Chain A
Amino acid sequence: MFKKLIDNSTAKSPWIYHINAGSCNGCDIELVAVLTPRYDAERFGFKLAGTPRHADIVVVSGPVTSQSKERLIRTLEQVPEPRVIVSLGSCPRSCNVFKGSYSVEGPLDKFCHVDISVAGCAPKPEAIVLGLAQAAQLLKQKREEAAQK
């Protein structure tokens, strides 16, 4: 029963940590818009965490630049299990217009497995809400799998 309580809670209280890996700020603004009264992601228990140690969902925006690559990897490692990585916008998936630049090392899935992608440039806040909701369900799934092992 206790285990089930934890499993259910996992889906209901996903805390987000946002990493900007060289984004143009468009997606970042939209992510913040998700927390505003209009979209209010706190309805689903979402909360912006200040440190990767508290996070369940890591939201990465931006193509991974050579400057941010090392920091990104280190920060992703520091997130405790179970964790879900969400890519926000086109850049982390494909580097978008920056692909081929000398300073871009991306895309993100070179370095880690991306669980959920939210497309759009930038994505509409509704899409982000939807993506995060899916990520929360995935989190619960991962938690159950980990608990079974």
Chain B
Amino acid sequence: MIQHLPILAIMTYFLGAFLTTLLGHNSKSVRWFLVMLASVASFVMMCLLIKPIFLDGGIIGYWMGGRAPEAGYAIGIGLEVDALSLFFGLLVTFTVLLSAVYSIKYISRDDAQDKYYTLFLMLAGGVLGLVLSGDLFNIFIMVEIMTFAAVALTAYRNWAEGSLESAFKYLAVGSIGSSMILAGTIMVYSQVHTLNLAQISALLAGQGLTNTTVFAFALLFIGFGVKAFIVPFHPIAADAYMTAPASISMVFSGMVNKAGVYGMIRLVYVVFQIMDVKSVNYLIVLLGTITMFIGVTSALNQHDFKRLLAFHSISQIGYVITAIGLATSLGIAGGLYHAMNHTLFKGLLFLCAGAVFYSAGTTDLDRLGGLAKRMPQTAAIFLVGAAAISGIPPFNGFASKWVIYQACYEAAAAASGFASIFYAVVTIVGLLVSVMTLASFVKVSQSVFFGQLPDEFDEVKEAPLLMRIPMWIMAACCLLAGLLPGPLSRFALQPAAAATLNIKGYIDTMMGGGYAASQMGDVTPVAELDFSTIGYWQPVAWLVLFVIIMAAVLIVALGSQGARGNKRSTELEKVDGKYATFFGGEHSTYSMVGGSDLFWGLRYNLRHYFGFLSDMHSGVVNDYALWAVTAAAGIILYMFLFL
């Protein structure tokens, strides 16, 4: 039974999509029932896999139609679920479940909801199929399904300004990525005459790197890079995240770009097994560092809540890629940890943006303000998300970033000469990016939730309960993931990181025992995992701290009875100037410091850099495609030069 679960989970999504189109056209309740059923069922199936894979350390191989390899060649389509796949599978199903719950209310005002849910489930099925697949061509097909569903969902609110445009950009640049993946698949096939990942891995390791393989690797790497939206393929992500509905933005940042990250990990570590090649490490770390820096500095410049979040999404993916590129067990664990945390807090933040959009009708930072008085719960949840993404203890972002810095700096210490300085600089950039992340979330909190409340938003209501439930769940997860790094690393991260390096097991599960040894000769030993430094803090101490803070806050909140509360500012000012905002004695008027005017000291000093960034994000799809192709050419060249 267990080995059927992965394919069932994928099929549930696709079946749900099919049935939603068929039956859900007229009836809201049928639609919701189908969507919820599909997402809950898939999530439960993934959860059922935790025990055999995470805890028992097993790997599930599944041949569709029972077509096991014949004569040493894998002809059938295979699914292979190891701890790495399951890790991402869990993220995907969890995100889909929460997003589905959120969508019920969020999408309720739009028309063509059945199409929304169909595409939504197609997207989910595509990503889940990608991460569970053990077949390279199947991965390409899933990437295509994912991309086209994502493009259509980006343009779902086609009445909104720019949505069709950004969908077109996504389509154009995304197609470049897809075709790279297809081309890479063809190259691989021409070399080893098989499409099964396990077999490719075994054969490639046996044959060593040839020009064809290097080219194939470069193409696949670029393809998944486009799907992960690393710089310079990122402008499409910024547009797509901004114009897509918030529930879809959450899915994008929670799983669509994770699909790219998963592809990279699978490629570098399992299929091509070239994590020991220093030049590839440098390239990945460099790309990751550039991605996180450009992402965060672009975010500092944004005027739109969701677009800002989109750039942060790019930046956080940069962290993940950097950590993975370090090719140490600590780095992989940190990267996976951060990938998970990114799903949690970025999803949370996108949901907050959605709640603001739902209630106030806009996400323009220069127009919003003071919503904490009208939407206190959303504001509190947002603060949790902001603290988590900026890496403030005790939330999860801190824990994973800590591991990444540790990994970076240890890599720096282990390396010598130029490389060590390079990794040290990466650590510094990482820490700086974290501060800049904090800065831009200060900007958001000041411009959206705090500051002055403009009159036009005086009647804004709190987001409905059905939207708040997923947000609270994610907020709780953010705290838990930060407080319990020990169990998490023991039960999820260590198995996943170990699976990444357990190539022999991966191959043998699919192709039969001893296949890896027969093809590869000397089997790469599983690298030792050293998590001694992960037990870096005492969660109990932090829990105590958290309780103390809560108690203190409670005492203060209860103790100051004399202070007046949340009355309407305008009414109160008429009777009593005492509670009016100090305005140098003037009657307080709306004079909000606009979101884009914050940090002008920084912006003034870095004006040339910011100007360059503005020029770079020209908004012209030709430019973006040109960037993508140029970068692709550069990466291919690099691979040929140094591999």
The answer to whether A and B touch in the complex, with CB atoms under 8 Å apart, is yes
Show the binding face of A for B, using Cβ within 8 Å. 19, 51-53, 68, 70-75, 77-78
B586 x A71 contact (CB < 8 A): yes
From DSSP, what is the main secondary structure of chain B's interface residues? loop
Interface size on B, residues (CB 8 A): 9
Contact A51 B578 (CB under 8 A): no
Question: What are 9 pairs between A and B in contact, CB < 8 Å?
Answer: A51-B582, A71-B584, A71-B586, A74-B580, A74-B585, A74-B586, A75-B585, A78-B580, A78-B582
List residues of chain B with CB within 8 A of the CB of A74: 577, 580, 585-587
Closest to B586 in A: A71
**CB–CB A53/B577 < 8 A:** no
Structural contact, A52 and B582, CB atoms closer than 8 A: yes
Minimum CB–CB distance from A89 to chain B (whole Å) comes to 20
Contacts of B530 in A (CB 8 A): none
State whether the Cβ of B528 lies closer than 8 Å to any Cβ in chain A: no
Query: B93-111: which have CB < 8 Å to A?
Result: none
Are the C-beta atoms of B582 and A53 separated by less than 8 Å? yes
On whether the beta carbons of A77 and B576 are closer than 8 Å, the reply is yes
User: B565-596 toward A: CB 8 Å interface, digit per residue (1/0)?
Assistant: 00000000000111010101111000000000
Closest residue to B573 on the A side, CB-wise?
Answer: A74
In the bound complex, how far is the Cα of B206 from the Cα of A3, in angstroms?
Answer: 82
In the bound complex, residues from chain A placing their C-beta under 8 Å from that of B585 are 19, 68, 70-72, 74-75
B585 to A, closest residue via Cβ: A71
Q: Could you tell me the distance between the alpha carbons of A73 and B587 in the complex, rounded to whole angstroms?
A: 11
Closest B residue by C-beta to A77: B577
The complex places the Cα of A73 from the Cα of B573 at a distance, in Å, of 13
Residue of B whose beta carbon sits closest to that of A51: B582
Contact A78 B578 (CB under 8 A): yes
Complex formed: what's the CA distance from A74 to B265 in Å? 63
Contact of B578 among A19, A68, A77 (CB under 8 A): A77
Q: Across the interface, name the chain B residue whose C-beta is closest to A52.
A: B582
Find the residue from B578, B582, B585, B586 having the highest chain A CB count within 10 A.
B585
**Residues of A close to B580: CB separation below 8 A:** 74, 77-78
Nearest-CB residue, chain B, relative to A74: B577
Residues of A within 8 A of B582 (CB): 51-53, 75, 78
Chain A interface SS verdict (over half): helix
B586 → A minimal CB distance (Å): 6
Q: Report Cα–Cα, A53/B586, bound state, in Å.
A: 15
- 0 or 1 for each of B62-83: is its CB under 8 Å from A? (1 = yes): 0000000000000000000000
Chain A residues with Cβ below 8 Å from B578 are 77-78
12 other contacts beyond A74-B580, A74-B586, A75-B585, with CB at 8 A cut-off? A68-B585, A70-B585, A70-B587, A72-B585, A74-B587, A75-B582, A77-B576, A77-B578, A78-B577, A78-B578, A78-B580, A78-B582
Task: List B contacts of A19 (CB < 8 A).
Answer: 585
Query: Which of A51, A68, A73 is within 8 Å of B577, CB to CB?
Result: A73
Q: Which residues of A contact B577 (CB under 8 A)?
A: 73-74, 77-78
Q: Which residues of B contact A77 (CB under 8 A)?
A: 576-578, 580
How far is B241's CA from A80's CA once the two chains are assembled, in angstroms? 47
Q: How far is the CB of B580 from chain A (nearest CB, A)?
A: 7
| Chain A residue with the shortest CB-CB distance to B578 | A77
CA distance A51 to B580 in the complex (A): 13
For A68, the closest partner residue in chain B by CB is B585
CA distance A78 to B581 in the complex (A): 9
The 9 closest A-B pairs by CB, nearest first: A71-B585, A77-B577, A74-B577, A75-B585, A77-B578, A51-B582, A74-B585, A78-B582, A78-B578
From residue B583, how far is it (CB to closest CB) to chain A in Å? Answer: 8
In the assembled complex, the Cα of A52 lies from the Cα of B581 at a distance in Å of: 11
Shortest Cβ gap from A52 to chain B (Å): 6
- B576 cross-chain contacts in A, Cβ below 8 A: 77
- Complex: chain B residue closest to A79, CB-CB: B578
**Nearest CB of A to B567, in Å:** 16
Task: Please report the C-alpha to C-alpha distance between residue A77 and residue B584 in the assembled complex, in whole angstroms.
Answer: 12
| Min CB–CB distance B581 → chain A (angstroms) | 9
**Contacts of B587 on A, CB cut-off 8 Å?**
70, 74
B-side contacts of A52, CB under 8 Å: 582
Complex CA–CA separation, A73 to B580 (angstroms):
12
Distance in Å: Cβ of B129 to nearest Cβ of chain A: 60
Distance (whole angstroms) from the CB of A77 to the closest CB of chain B: 4
Whole-angstrom CA separation of A75 from B580 in the bound complex: 10
Query: Shortest CB–CB separation between residue B512 and chain A, in angstroms?
Result: 77
Alpha-carbon distance between A72 and B576 when the two chains are bound, in angstroms: 14
Most chain B CB neighbours (cut-off 10 Å) among A19, A73, A74: A74
- The residue of chain B having its C-beta at the shortest distance from the C-beta of A76 within the complex is B577
B573 to chain A, nearest CB (A): 9
Compute how far the CA of A22 lies from the CA of B570 in the bound complex, rounded to whole angstroms: 28
Q: Which of B576, B582, B586 has the most CB of A within 10 A?
A: B582
A70→B576 CA distance, assembly (Å): 13
> How close is A15's CB to chain B, nearest CB, in angstroms?
15
Distance between Cα atoms of A128 and B640 in the complex (Å):
82
Give Cα A74 to B578, complex, Å.
Answer: 7
Nearest CB in chain A: distance from B571 CB, A: 16
- Please name all residues of chain B whose beta carbon is closer than 8 Å to the beta carbon of A70 when the two chains form the complex: 585, 587
Q: Report how far A51 CA is from B587 CA in the complex, Å.
A: 15
Shortest distance between the CB of A72 and any CB in chain B (Å): 7
CB-CB contacts below 8 Å: B520-579 with A: 576-578
A60 CB to closest chain B CB (Å) equals: 12
Shortest distance from the beta carbon of A113 to any chain B beta carbon, whole Å? 16
With both chains docked as a complex, state the minimum distance between the C-beta of B582 and any C-beta of chain A, in angstroms.
Answer: 6
In whole angstroms, how far apart are the Cα atoms of A73 and B576 in the complex? 11
Contact with A along B234-246 (1 / 0, CB 8 A): 0000000000000
Least CB distance from B241 to A in Å reads 40
B570 to chain A, nearest CB (A): 15
Residue of A nearest to B583 (CB): A74
A76-B585 Cα distance, complex, nearest whole Å: 9
Give Cα A52 to B580, complex, Å. Answer: 12
Q: Which residue of B lies closest to A71 (CB)?
A: B585
Which residues of B are found within 8 Å of A78, using beta-carbon distances?
A: 577-578, 580, 582
Q: Which residues of the other chain, B, contact A72 by a CB distance below 8 angstroms?
A: 585
Q: CA–CA, A71 to B578, complex, Å? A: 12
For the complex, give the distance between the alpha carbons of A32 and B577 in Å: 28
Q: How far is the CB of B561 from chain A (nearest CB, A)?
A: 15
